[in-house]
Chain A
Amino acid sequence: DAKTTQPPSMDCAEGRAANLPCNHSTISGNEYVYWYRQIHSQGPQYIIHGLKNNETNEMASLIITEDRKSSTLILPHATLRDTAVYYCIVRFYSGGSNYKLTFGKGTLLTVNP
């Protein structure tokens, strides 16, 4: 399965854009890039996912490079409530029909006032 590499931690000022990078140089052609976040004491929250094209929803934007070897999650106007661990995951197909998620250590994003 494709592995991902993320910085262990990042800081961002409240109101500014948070840009979280992720490297996934061994990604396969049919593997999606998913982003989740986990706020303390809660289950992981789905943010966004994409295959080749850039994606945007009400929470964030996902920018995927043309060679698909890296991506960036953008929170356009970070708030204190966005402080969380952010996970970049390449979705792993494990035979049959199981597209399970394999979580790494993620990036701890701290939004400062």
Chain B
Amino acid sequence: GAGVSQSPSNKVTEKGKDVELRCDPISGHTALYWYRQSLGQGLEFLIYFQGNSAPDKSGLPSDRFSAERTGGSVSTLTIQRTQQEDSAVYLCASSLNPTVGNSPLHFGNGTRLTVT
């Protein structure tokens, strides 16, 4: 079946511009996660959705970052007034049941964001 889909796969933007990154989770998965990975670094948790609500936003690095999820499905991560340090691969993951530790996260291949 279809996996987690992210678009665009690559995005180049000028410093100061806003960008939107999209994630289509696996159908039926109620939980959705955003992570980012800077060059040569590990994965950094950003935000978690259960349905359309975000009970854990602890990883968002600043108020320039926001995310929403509609219809319990598609999610959009928005970065306002982008900075060069925002350059990274932004990864989305979904899981079937976040209420147990026995439900794997499945990741997309990410959006590579480059801020020039």
Q: Which of A31, A94, A95, A99 has the most CB of B within 10 A?
A: A99
- Residues on A with C-beta less than 8 A from B105 are 46, 101
Are A43 and B108 in touch, CB under 8 angstroms?
A: yes
Q: How would residues 41 to 58 of chain B score, 1 for a CB under 8 Å from any chain A CB and 0 otherwise?
A: 011010010100001101
Chain B residue total in the interface (Cβ 8 A): 28
Q: Which residues of B contact A101 (CB under 8 A)?
A: 33, 43, 45, 105
Please state if B109 and A49 are interface contacts (CB–CB under 8 Å).
no
Q: How far is the CA of A49 from the CA of B104 in the complex (A)?
A: 8
Interface positions, chain B 65-105, Cβ under 8 Å from A, are 91, 93, 95, 98-105
Q: CB-defined interface of B20-37 with A at 8 Å, one 1/0 digit per residue?
A: 000000000001010100
Tell me, in angstroms, the Cα distance from A100 to B101 when the chains sit together: 9
CB distance from B93 to the nearest CB of A (A): 8
A side interface size, CB within 8 A: 27
List, in ascending order, chain A residues with CB within 8 A of B102's CB. Answer: 32, 49, 51
Chain A residue with the shortest CB-CB distance to B30 = A97
Taking the nearest CB of chain A, how far is it from the CB of B109, in angstroms? 5
Q: Is the beta-carbon distance between A94 and B56 smaller than 8 angstroms? A: yes
- Chain B positions within 8 Å of A42 at CB level: 109-110
Question: A94 CB to closest chain B CB, in angstroms?
Answer: 6
> A30–B99 Cα gap in the complex (Å)?
12
Does residue A9 face the partner (Cβ distance < 8 Å to B)?
A: no
| Shortest CB distance A59–B (Å) | 12
A21 at interface, CB cutoff 8 A: no
**Are A100 and B56 within 8 A (Cβ)?**
yes
Cβ 8 A contact of B101, one of A45, A46, A99, A105: A99
A residues lining the B interface (CB < 8 Å): 30-32, 34, 41-46, 49, 51, 91, 93-106
